Amino acid sequence: MVELTIDKKTVSVKEGTTILEAARRVDVFIPTLCAYEELNHTPGACRVCLVEVDRARSLVASCVYPVAQGMRVRTNTQRVRRARRAVVEFLLSDHPQDCNVCVKSGSCELQAIAELVGVRDVRVDRTDFSTHRIDDSSPALVRDTSKCINCLRCVAVCAEVQGVSLLTPEGRGFDSKVVPAMAADLADSACTYCGQCAVVCPTGAIVERDDTEKVWAALEDPKKHVVVQEAPAIRVQLGEEFGMEPGSLVTGKMIAALRRLGFDRVFDTNFSADLTIMEEGHELLKRVKEGGVLPMTTSCSPGWIKFIEHFYPQLLPNVSTCKSPQQMFGALAKTYYAEFAGIDPKDIFVVSIMPCTAKKYEASRPEMRDSGYRDVDVVLTTRELGRMIRQAGIDFVSLPDETFDAPMGRYTGAATIFGATGGVMEAALRTVYAVVTGEPMPDLNIQPVRGLEGVKEATLEVGELGEVKVAVAHGLANARKLMDQVADGTADYHFIEIMACPGGCVGGGGQPLPVTDEKRAKRAEALYRDDCEVQEFRQSHENPAIKQLYEKFLKEPLGHKSHELLHTHYTQRGV
Amino acid sequence: MSNAELAGVDEFSKEEWALVDEAIEKYKGKPGSLIPVLEEIQAVTGYLPESLQRHVARGLDVPLSQVYGVVTFYSFFTMKPRGKHRIRICLGTACHVRGAGRNVDQLKKSLGIDVGECTEDRKFGLEVVRCLGACGLAPVMVVDADTHKQVKEAKLDKILDGYRDEPDAS
């Protein structure tokens, strides 16, 4: 152990600890921009965390400087304050001064730090960005390198958490910037559109594509019948956009807000999540019984789908042919619901609210038009919906609780837990068990697949099927671990759930910011609360709206209509 | 892709691709091997276009972004073909004040290329350097291994002609 003082507070830490870590231990605040605790990312790039160390010649970057016995650190001296201010001033000299019109205004870390350290003027010649090109080639994410401060968080999250390693610093010195490999446009790259880069980006350099104007336009168009669906995770995230505690379950307020925005029908992606379980559960049973390709993997996460198309194209036969709940909903909204309501499907406009940036891409895939129209017209992230609600002047927190519309608004606890890693697996096992044995699982809570561990495993005795072995991974670097096993034949699982984002959809690329593991866990807890305390039914096949859908429209799982509307195929992309 | 399939891609011959693969094979699986591999390959091919970078990434099983990051970081590596004759103009302080900048402009005009590029016939590549330590001879221009002193704009063409006329060895 090493003992040192920071601003006269004595702290004892392990050798090798950085000054920044030690300072946090004794609640001494040091501003940082590039450091990101959850990624263990301290590149020492931004220099905002400078502190004064006795006998050191110059100020040191506390995020990379190791502690030493007897060291005396001061974090709040005139010299430190001046240096910090100068550092941020230099950062701003190479940053567009368009904060008022930037989508990150208010949630930008650079903006907050500039205020915090007291920059009141930028005296250095500013970089001219007039010829700067913005990469808006992708339907999901927009990159504006003029706003990049080279903190390299996106590079770290892309490589270490997602195992994609698409982003890299290019060049060196002042002209260095972060780009996809070969400086390709995102649309021409192996980007999965997971959006975790946008989640960690301290500025507006990587953001979701804002599609709110398209939705406003549809809502004002008298010819359009605008229906909306919300992913499971939205009901446990949206409150945070309005200052509510992480883990607030706001289903009723969410519905009320959407009605007040002018949506004609407020439906629920949870309805089609239950449907996904029906189709995917039966697909799994069929594969097991008929000797199909195993292990079967889930297909709900569009980032995961793009990932496997690029990096493990040989394993695409393992992926369930089921569309994601979002796309199942879209295909049914323009067929089943159109028929039900007697509305011409060409006039139906489907909006999705997703915790996800890759969903924007998924909806734009050319094969997602099985209704005869584009199945999902616009996808908004949780953050964009928050913006719309604020623009409309709706006081979200004091809204009353309202309920979903029929016939696509009912759901079970099995559907709602789709939003947390392991949830799809748990929901599928509940129904598969019941279908095989004719009775519900003795305990519907399958604890081993819950929680934030990267790769989870469980074995379950399922009637005549015998032992069913499953695995769950979230974060694509964890998915890689499982896929490497599947590829070399050492995985003896029947069913694998993969979610692209850490924590599953509760930690998606479109979630409220900033996020921590603690927040992800609280959001997931709220979903499990919805499952076991709020919902009447906890198994997808018990959903009365789903029973009605099969009775009146689809007839049977994996039937002709299902095949036409609810199943899909994938594209071998490579890298 | 096999070497036979790769032959002709970016003008590299089957033999050159074989040398490329040899370099990859030699270092495969050894940590920290990316830079030496790229160095050996560039010695064979003269430059590192996208096709080669992809080939190296696959061969060494490293992300393409990492290869691209290294290639763009070190000025030694180039993604553009280099000319047969390497022209280096010194832009150090002494050369600069004695008109080296005008020499660069003149060469850009007469060769029809930018700094860092090479002529279409691949005869000449143009580079600038910061100081060659020969300030007494300013402005200095180095072509291949020959140092030319007190170079004036008017003399440039004549100097280059000496290299232009040289019979092509290859």
Catalytic residue, chosen from A241, A280, A426, A497, is A280
Whether chain B has a CB inside 8 Å of the CB on A575: the answer is: yes
Asked if the Cβ–Cβ distance from B68 to A170 is below 8 Å, we say yes
> Starting at the edge strand that comes first in sequence, how are the strands of the sheet with A225-230 ordered?
A265-266, A225-230, A348-354, A378-381
My answer on whether B64 and B89 are in the same domain is no
Whether chain A has a CB inside 8 Å of the CB on B116: the answer is: no
Peptide bond just before A514 cis, omega within 30 deg: yes
SS3 A288: helix
Asked if pLDDT for residue A357 goes beyond 60, the answer is yes
Taking residues A542-569, report their average pLDDT: 97
My answer on whether B94 and B140 are in the same domain is yes
Encoded tokens for B152: 């004036």
Q: How many domains does chain B have?
A: 2
My answer on whether B62 and B129 are in the same domain is no
My answer on whether B7 and B48 are in the same domain is yes
The predicted pLDDT at position B167 comes to 59
Mean pLDDT of chain A: 97
Asked if pLDDT for residue B7 goes beyond 60, the answer is no
- The domains spanning A132-209 and A213-566 adopt the same CATH topology: no
Let me know if residue B169 belongs to a domain: no
My answer on whether B110 and B53 are in the same domain is no
The CATH number of A132-209 is: 3.30.70.20
Distance CA B56, CA B38 (A): 8
Comparing C-alpha atoms, which of A568, A218, A248 is closest to residue A380?
Answer: A218
What CA–CA distances, in Å, run from B112 to B117, B124, B165?
10, 11, 19
pLDDT tens digits, A309-338: 999 999 999 999 999 999 999 999 999 999
Asked if the Cβ–Cβ distance from A165 to B50 is below 8 Å, we say no
Asked if pLDDT for residue B170 goes beyond 60, the answer is no
The shortest C-alpha distance from A161 to chain B (Å) reads: 15
The predicted pLDDT at position A127 comes to 87
| Candidates B1, B51, B65, partner chain A, best to mutate (most A CBs within 10 A) | B65
Whether chain B has a CB inside 8 Å of the CB on A167: the answer is: yes
Q: What percent of chain A has pLDDT over 70?
A: 100
CATH of the domain at B144: 3.40.30.10
ipTM of the complex: 0.90
My answer on whether B67 and B90 are in the same domain is no
Asked if the Cβ–Cβ distance from A575 to B64 is below 8 Å, we say yes
* Last-in-domain residue among B46, B73, B100: B73
Q: Which residues does chain B have within 8 Å of residue A182's beta carbon, measured at their own beta carbons?
A: 50, 53, 64, 68
The pairing of strands A466-474 and A495-499 is: parallel
Encoded tokens for A100: 């008022």
Asked if pLDDT for residue B168 goes beyond 90, the answer is no
Let me know if residue B170 belongs to a domain: no
My answer on whether B59 and B107 are in the same domain is no
The predicted pLDDT at position A372 comes to 97
Q: Which residues does chain A have within 8 Å of residue B76's beta carbon, measured at their own beta carbons?
A: none
Taking residues A370-384, report their average pLDDT: 98
Catalytic residue, chosen from A301, A320, A324, A540, is A320
pLDDT tens digits, A504-535: 999 999 999 999 999 999 999 999 999 999 99
My answer on whether B57 and B94 are in the same domain is no
Asked if pLDDT for residue B10 goes beyond 80, the answer is no
Let me know if residue B122 belongs to a domain: yes
The predicted pLDDT at position B166 comes to 63
Let me know if residue B78 belongs to a domain: no
* Last-in-domain residue among B48, B73, B98: B73
Asked if pLDDT for residue B2 goes beyond 60, the answer is no
Let me know if residue B98 belongs to a domain: yes
The predicted pLDDT at position B9 comes to 59
Determine contact, residues A355/A334, Cβ cutoff 8 Å: no
Whether chain A has a CB inside 8 Å of the CB on B69: the answer is: yes
Q: Which residues does chain A have within 8 Å of residue B79's beta carbon, measured at their own beta carbons?
A: none
Burial class (CB in 10 A: 0-12, 13-18, 19+), A44: middle
My answer on whether B91 and B156 are in the same domain is yes
Can you tell me which residue has the tokens 């789908």? A305
- One-letter amino acid for residue A151 of the chain: C
Asked if pLDDT for residue B72 goes beyond 80, the answer is yes
My answer on whether B69 and B49 are in the same domain is yes
pLDDT tens digits, A42-71: 999 999 999 999 989 999 999 999 999 999
Q: Which residues does chain A have within 8 Å of residue B68's beta carbon, measured at their own beta carbons?
A: 168, 170, 181-183
Give the right CATH number for A213-566 from 3.30.465.10, 3.40.50.1780, 3.40.50.720, 3.40.50.620.
Answer: 3.40.50.1780
Distance CA A315, CA A317 (A): 5
Can you tell me which residue has the tokens 């730090």? A113
How many inter-chain contacts (A to B, CB under 8 Å) are there? Answer: 34
Does the annotation count A283 as an active-site position?
yes
Does the annotation count A280 as an active-site position?
yes
What CA–CA distances, in Å, run from A302 to A91, A140, A274, A324, A572?
35, 11, 18, 8, 15
The pairing of strands A206-208 and A141-143 is: antiparallel
In the structure, what pLDDT confidence band is assigned to residue B46 with cuts at 50, 70 and 90?
confident
- One-letter amino acid for residue B168 of the chain: D
Taking residues A18-44, report their average pLDDT: 95
Considering the segment(s) A2-92 as one domain, its CATH architecture is Roll (3.10)
Asked if the Cβ–Cβ distance from B68 to A181 is below 8 Å, we say yes
Let me know if residue B55 belongs to a domain: yes
Comparing C-alpha atoms, which of A545, A541, A552 is closest to residue A340?
Answer: A552
Whether chain A has a CB inside 8 Å of the CB on B64: the answer is: yes
Taking residues A535-539, report their average pLDDT: 97
Catalytic residue, chosen from A15, A220, A367, A467, is A367
My answer on whether B23 and B45 are in the same domain is yes
Whether chain B has a CB inside 8 Å of the CB on A183: the answer is: yes
pLDDT tens digits, A269-295: 999 999 999 999 999 999 999 999 999
pLDDT tens digits, B78-108: 998 888 898 999 999 999 999 999 999 999 9
The domain limits of chain A are 2-92, 132-209, 213-566
Cα angle value A63/A22/A115 (rounded, 5°): 55
Taking residues A179-199, report their average pLDDT: 97
Does the annotation count A426 as an active-site position?
no
**Closest CA in chain B for residue A311:** B63
Asked if pLDDT for residue A461 goes beyond 80, the answer is yes
Let me know if residue B58 belongs to a domain: yes
Does the annotation count A362 as an active-site position?
yes
Does the annotation count A505 as an active-site position?
yes
Asked if pLDDT for residue A435 goes beyond 90, the answer is yes
Asked if pLDDT for residue B76 goes beyond 90, the answer is no
Asked if the Cβ–Cβ distance from A170 to B64 is below 8 Å, we say no
My answer on whether B108 and B135 are in the same domain is yes
The predicted pLDDT at position B6 comes to 56
Let me know if residue B79 belongs to a domain: no
Question: For A74, phi and psi rounded to 5 degrees?
Answer: -125, 130
pLDDT tens digits, A128-144: 898 888 999 999 999 99
Determine contact, residues B127/B87, Cβ cutoff 8 Å: yes
The shortest C-alpha distance from A157 to chain B (Å) reads: 14
* Last-in-domain residue among B73, B108, B126: B73
Asked if the Cβ–Cβ distance from B64 to A182 is below 8 Å, we say yes
Q: Residue B33's domain spans which residues?
A: 3-73
Q: Measured in whole angstroms, how far is the alpha carbon of residue A159 from the centre of its chain?
A: 16
Q: Which residues does chain B have within 8 Å of residue A181's beta carbon, measured at their own beta carbons?
A: 63-65, 67-68
Beta bridge partners of A60: A51
